[in-house]
Amino acid sequence: MRDIKWGDVKMMSKPKRVFKYFIWLLSTARNAVVVVIASGVSAGFVAHNIYPFSLTGNIKAGLPKFQPPAFTISTNETELTANEVFSNIGVGFGIVSLLGLVETIAIGKPFARKNGYDIDADQELLAIGASNILGSFVGAYPVTGSFSRTAVNSNSGVMTPAGGIWTAALVLLALSFLTPLFYYIPDAALAAVIIMAVLDMVDFSLLPKLWKIKKLDLLPWIVTFICCLLIGIEWGIIIGVGLSLLLLLYPWSRPTVEVKRGSDKINTYEIIDVGQGLLFPGIEHFSNKVHAKTLSAKQSKSAIVDMHCVANADYTSVESVEQLYADFAKKKKQLILCNLRPSVLQIFLKAKLKHFLYAESIEDAVCLLKDTDQSEDTTIQGTEDELETSSQRSDEDTSSVDDKKDLPEKSVDPDTETQPL
């Protein structure tokens, strides 16, 4: 109703202008109007000792004392020390902090998209921390975002953080003077306000878009929605975030590896294109693919790995690549990396890998592969020539000895033989 186009206000008559502002106020304060009307009806029933609704009940009036937070808990029967309190909370410290941040960001982003502004996660984290520190001095609950209260604020026309000042002021005034009236507020009225406010946040028009663009993106949406309804908002958000992380990490654990056959007059090789980064989750999958397509094939082949999509590398990937070089060297084949980014190249150079070969492009890698193979062929041929020459010389020496054996022995005449003086 508040979005009705009334035209130019200056051209309106006074009654129409008053009616316009009345409609705007009624639509903006509709949540308060519902609560007031429901409370009046409930009070009328209570006056006649009729209780058809579940009521809010008595609320303690007044403001809490401003004092340092207590680290001990005292009851009529027992007293818990600070160590016992901290040990009982345990991992709750981390879970509460994480939930507070996740809920705030998860709640803020839909409203940011709806109203056209950005969310600064660092600023939200600082605000939550400061609020929790100050809130501890009045015994407040851990501060975090709230789907219901944020939705009510948005539907009530709140546009800036200054709305929080008015909300805080009204809460303080209500706690000081209006708590007796809260007794008559029906729980159903509060639930209706929250449900109608949150309904605007459920964007069912997103489902056909997700189905058309990428069906797998529907899975986190549906799982989070169902878990929030059945288990609770906190656990629903955690499950949704965990599922989204699994879907995000899966491509890194199974990087796409495309293999294309290449050949020239000298040999045949494989060109391997890596689709994602070679980090710890996916390096084993990459190594297995390279082995299957080159070294484990019927005939071992050299490989050229195109790494233009690899943005980073870690210690595990360096170790695996080093093992690949060693495996290729055992098979007397070559592994050449090409199109490495400078940051990735520096990582491999610092590792000082044995047999490490790299090139700037696939064409350079092919030329390097040819040069390497030709040098190896030349070395092998030279070795064979030397062996052949040595064999020929050995055969010649053997034949000369045999010839000498075949010659007749010289006879010596005793009459002409020279006698020593």
Answer whether 0.95 is exceeded by the pTM.
no
For the residues of 235-256, what is the DSSP string, one character each? HHHHHHHHHHHHHHHHHHHS--
Helices 233-253 and 92-115 sit at what angle, rounded to 10 degrees? 90
Domain that holds residue 218: 206-252
Same domain, 211 and 269: no
Domain boundary among 176, 199, 222: 199
Q: What is the distance in angstroms between the CA of the first residue and the CA of the last residue of the chain?
A: 152
Same domain, 225 and 301: no
What residues of the chain score a pLDDT lower than 70? 1-10, 75-76, 91, 147-148, 152, 155-156, 200-201, 264-266, 297, 371-421
- Note whether 334 and 301 are within 8 A (CB): no
- Note whether 297 and 266 are within 8 A (CB): no
Residues in the chain: 421
pLDDT for res 375? 52
pLDDT for res 179? 83
Domain CATH code at residue 350? 3.30.750.24
- Note whether 151 and 194 are within 8 A (CB): yes
In angstroms, rounded to a whole number, what is the distance separating the alpha carbons of residues 325 and 373? 16
Same domain, 148 and 224: no
How many domains would you assign to the chain?
A: 3
Same domain, 58 and 191: yes
Same domain, 124 and 237: no
Tokens 């629903």 map to which residue?
A: 236
Same domain, 192 and 212: no
Same domain, 22 and 139: yes
Query: From the centroid of its chain, how far is CA 353?
Result: 31
In a domain, 42, yes or no: yes
Q: Residue 79 pairs with which residues in a beta bridge?
A: 74
Q: Tell the burial category of 188 from Cβ atoms under 10 Å away from its Cβ (0-12, 13-18, 19+).
A: middle
Query: From the centroid of its chain, how far is CA 322?
Result: 28
pLDDT for res 265? 67
Same domain, 195 and 210: no
